[in-house]
Amino acid sequence: MANVTSRSDVNTLAQLRARRAVRLAARQLTEDAPKLARASAAAYQAGLAARAAELHRAALIAWRAGIPAEVIAADGRLPQAVVHRWITGRRTPGRPCEKRP
C-alpha cells in the first residue's frame, strides 16, 4: 500500500520550511553584517541589500505558506511594521523609495 500524505501534512511541512528559511536569512544577515562592515562602503551596502532581499523573499514565502505576520517578525527578528510593509508590497529592501506620479 502506498504511503499517503495528507494535505495538512504537506502544508505543515511547507510552513516549517518557510519559517526555517526566515530564521536562516535573519541569522545570515546578522552574522554577515560585521564581515561586510570591514569591506568597502559599496560592498557593505550591496552585501546588506542582498541579505535583506533574501530575508524579504523568505518572509513573503512564509506569508504565502500561511504563517502569520507576527510569527514571521519574531522568526526574522524584525519589527512587525516592516513585515507588514513587505507583505503589502509597499517597499522592497535594498531599493530606494521611488516617487510615484
Residue-wise pLDDT for 22-79, tens only, equals 999 999 999 999 999 998 999 999 999 999 999 999 999 999 999 999 999 999 999 9
What integer pLDDT is reported at residue 91 of this predicted model? Answer: 55
Alpha-carbon distance 21 to 39, whole Å?
A: 26
Side-chain-facing half-sphere of 34: CA atoms under 13 Å? 3
What integer pLDDT is reported at residue 98 of this predicted model? Answer: 41
Model pTM?
0.77
The SS3 of residue 95 is: coil
**Which pLDDT band, with edges at 50, 70 and 90, does 89 fall under?**
confident
Alpha-carbon distance 70 to 22, whole Å?
A: 13
Kind and range of the H or E element at 86?
helix 80-88
* More confident: 4 or 42: 42
What integer pLDDT is reported at residue 11 of this predicted model? Answer: 76
